[in-house]
Amino acid sequence: MKRFKVFCIAGAALFLFVIGIVGITQSKEIYTAAENARVDYGSCQEHTFPDEYIVVKEATCQSTGTKYRVCTVCGAKDIVEIPVDSDNHLYVSSKWTTYPVPTCISGGEKYKICTSCNKKVEVTELPPDPEAHQADGDHIVLTDSTCQEPGEKAYRCKLCGEYFGNTPVDINPDNHVTSENSKWEVTVLPTCGDEGEMVCYCDKCGAVALAKPVAPTGEHILSDEWIIDKEPTCTEPGIKSRYCTVCGQAVETEEIPVNGENHSFGSDFITDKAPTCVEAGEKSRHCIYCGERTEITEIPVDENAHQYGEEWIVSKEPSCSEAGLKHKVCALCGEESVPVEIEKTEHNYGKYEVIKESADGMSAQVKYTCIDCGYEYITVITYGENDGTGDIGNESGENGKYILVANADTVIKIDNSSMLVYNVARNMEPEKFLSNFKNSSSFVLYSKDGNIVQDSSYVGTGCYLNYQDINGIVTNYKISVTGDLDSDGKVTASDARQILRAAAGLNEVKNEYKTAADVNSDGKVTASDARTTLRVAANLEYFKDTYKN
């Protein structure tokens, strides 16, 4: 029923509002009496309006209203707009807002909010609240607690300075109370060297509240007995002292005279005289201070303790093919020492035999033969240098070996620690290969089978550069040709297949062959190396590090 009434009232209001708007629209010419006078409404030349208007729409805080009055003679309407009424709030919140909130020294305000214009409505002033303090930090102790009584703490208001929220502080059993009249007592007597102690008792509970040291007396009580601090020895005096029976400090000290019989013999025997091949020796224990001997014991003759002289006697002369022998003779019994080998002598080479001369006739590969033993070695000589013995342009290396020296413009690399020549290009003939080094004329180029590499062949992985000097010192450099694993100096699909098997762990590659298989120089042999090698074999790619040579 209530909903129905509300609905009817709302409908009626809407109906009147529409009728009013329609009437205003239809009677635009009679908004005012003055306008109506210009229209023929009969004999009404001056309208007669009542003093009061009929309000059609109230003015609010956000919108204007409308009112009118009707001429009592002709019925003309005088319609007037009602200005906005800033105090006529239609939609006011039911909730109160308090701001600012009252404190202990200042008042506050509470109000409601108009939801249309957001203005404060029904504003009410609030007086200061004497209990609305604001704490300035944590509790402040007003009274310390003691061993018998609790203390008190509170907050201090940062606005008015008053204390509030007073709370008791628990009793502190260690917070004793003392005064000038408190009782002191010596609990530990001082001695000649040590402090004593005295304590003060609490006025409240009687427990020990304070303690302080008592200074030492400084007066020793000596023992009647002398104590030996250091026994006298056969070379040094001793020391004896009398000690304080209270603090244990040595107060009186005297020297004890040297005791010539008080030796201190070591536990180990020392050889005084070593035995020889013809005479016994002697050993004893010695005093650590004066060297006096005791327990002198004979050491039996040692048949092997010969005394050999400095002179060597040669029993067999050395030669270039066989070592010699030499020995010494004991000066006591004439026994000969164990023979010592004498190093072989150097070979006695005659004129060399030419194996192969260079194309320009300036150098040759030759063979030397020892006249005494027939030992042979092959080397390279340069005519007109070093009296035809060759070996020019070399640099001495470790253990007398010679170092191979590369030209500055070559990309071929030399590792003298592992004696390896690497980064060598495929399809390289011996003469072109040797031209990359300053002193290659001193070396002989061999295949991996030990044969001299011919001019028509290619330098392959496993080949080596050999140099042997006249004293028999040999230098060998292994050669690694990038991508060549079958030692033919070429790069083929067969090489790529071997690298792939090595990458899969089916073949093992070592030393110069591993260097040749690692074509991208990353320290590993992988399928990527095999793929690159296959492309090089098909002339689709080249090894970037070696193409210049």
Nearest to 534 by CA among 523, 519, 544, 524: 519
One domain for residues 399 and 522? yes
DSSP 85-135: -TT--S-B-SS-EE-SPP-SS--EEEEEEBTTT--EEEEEEE---TT---B
Assessment of whether the complete model's pTM goes beyond 0.85: no
Q: Is residue 319 part of a domain?
A: yes
**Per-residue pLDDT at 205:** 87
> Residue 459 is part of which domain span?
393-537
In this structure, the strands spanning 151-156 and 97-98 are: unpaired
One domain for residues 410 and 505? yes
Contact of 516 with 530, CB cutoff 8 Å: no
One domain for residues 336 and 438? no
Q: What whole-number distance in Å separates Cα of residue 72 and Cα of residue 435?
A: 136
> In 10 A of CB 336, how many CB atoms?
13
One domain for residues 400 and 531? yes
Q: Which of 176, 195, 214 is the last residue of a domain?
A: 214
| Chain mean position to CA 172 | 50
* CA-derived radius of gyration, the chain: 63
The predicted-structure confidence for 348-406, as pLDDT tens digits, reads as follows: 877 778 887 766 666 777 888 888 888 887 777 766 444 444 443 344 544 456 788 88
Nearest to 338 by CA among 346, 348, 330: 330
Q: What whole-number distance in Å separates Cα of residue 168 and Cα of residue 516?
A: 91
> In 10 A of CB 495, how many CB atoms?
28
One domain for residues 398 and 513? yes
Q: What whole-number distance in Å separates Cα of residue 80 and Cα of residue 49?
A: 13
One domain for residues 191 and 78? no
Q: What whole-number distance in Å separates Cα of residue 355 and Cα of residue 376?
A: 13
CATH number for 476:
1.10.1330.10
Q: Is residue 455 part of a domain?
A: yes
> In 10 A of CB 491, how many CB atoms?
28
Of the chain, the percentage scoring pLDDT greater than 90 comes to 30
Q: Is residue 278 part of a domain?
A: no
Amino acid 408 reads: A
Q: Edge-to-edge strand order for the sheet containing 120-126?
A: 97-98, 108-113, 120-126
**Per-residue pLDDT at 288:** 87
CA angle centred on 245, ends 241 and 248, rounded to 5°: 65
The predicted-structure confidence for 409-433, as pLDDT tens digits, reads as follows: 899 999 988 999 999 999 999 989 9
Q: Is residue 327 part of a domain?
A: yes
The predicted-structure confidence for 36-82, as pLDDT tens digits, reads as follows: 333 344 457 789 999 899 998 988 888 899 999 999 888 899 899 99
One domain for residues 523 and 439? yes
What residue has token string 């009296």?
Answer: 387
One domain for residues 338 and 459? no
Structural domains in the chain (count): 4
Q: What whole-number distance in Å separates Cα of residue 461 and Cα of residue 492?
A: 13
One domain for residues 397 and 327? no
**Per-residue pLDDT at 13:** 44
One domain for residues 400 and 528? yes
Q: Is residue 460 part of a domain?
A: yes
Q: Which of 82, 114, 147 is the last residue of a domain?
A: 82
Q: Which of 82, 114, 130 is the last residue of a domain?
A: 82
Q: Is residue 73 part of a domain?
A: yes
One domain for residues 324 and 456? no
Q: Is residue 131 part of a domain?
A: no
The predicted-structure confidence for 5-26, as pLDDT tens digits, reads as follows: 434 444 444 444 434 443 433 3
Q: Is residue 241 part of a domain?
A: no
One domain for residues 436 and 520? yes
